[in-house]
């Protein structure tokens, strides 16, 4: 007997990218965002390469989060 597989599974990252107003923070909160980057998800890479996103990413990397920020969010 042959099993039917749904090979057209859509990742949660792709579902977020379908939203018109998706934010970088929403994408970065996804557990599989790094895996999607490694898999060269073109839609995700195009989104991340936008100037606004690149500037946000550089800011996140180069600035310490506020000390009074919730620890879970601070070190995510």
Per the CB < 8 A criterion, the answer to whether 30 and 16 are in contact is yes
- Answer whether 37's CB lies under 8 Å from 67's CB: no
The pLDDT of residue 65 is 77
Lowest mean pLDDT among 27-31, 37-41, 60-64, 66-70: 66-70
pLDDT tens per residue, range 33-56: 999 999 999 999 999 999 999 999
Residue 33's CB is within 10 A of a number of other CB atoms, namely 19
pTM of the model: 0.74
pLDDT at 66: 79
**C-alpha dihedral sign at 72, 69, 56, 15:** positive
């Amino acid at each position: 007997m042959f099993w039917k597989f749904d090979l057209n599974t859509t990742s949660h990252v792709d579902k977020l990218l379908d939203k018109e107003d998706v934010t970088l923070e929403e994408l970065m909160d996804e557990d599989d965002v790094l895996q999607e980057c490694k898999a060269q998800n073109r839609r995700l890479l195009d989104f991340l390469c936008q100037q606004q996103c690149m500037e946000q990413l550089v800011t996140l990397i180069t600035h310490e989060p506020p000390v009074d920020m919730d620890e879970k969010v601070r070190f995510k």
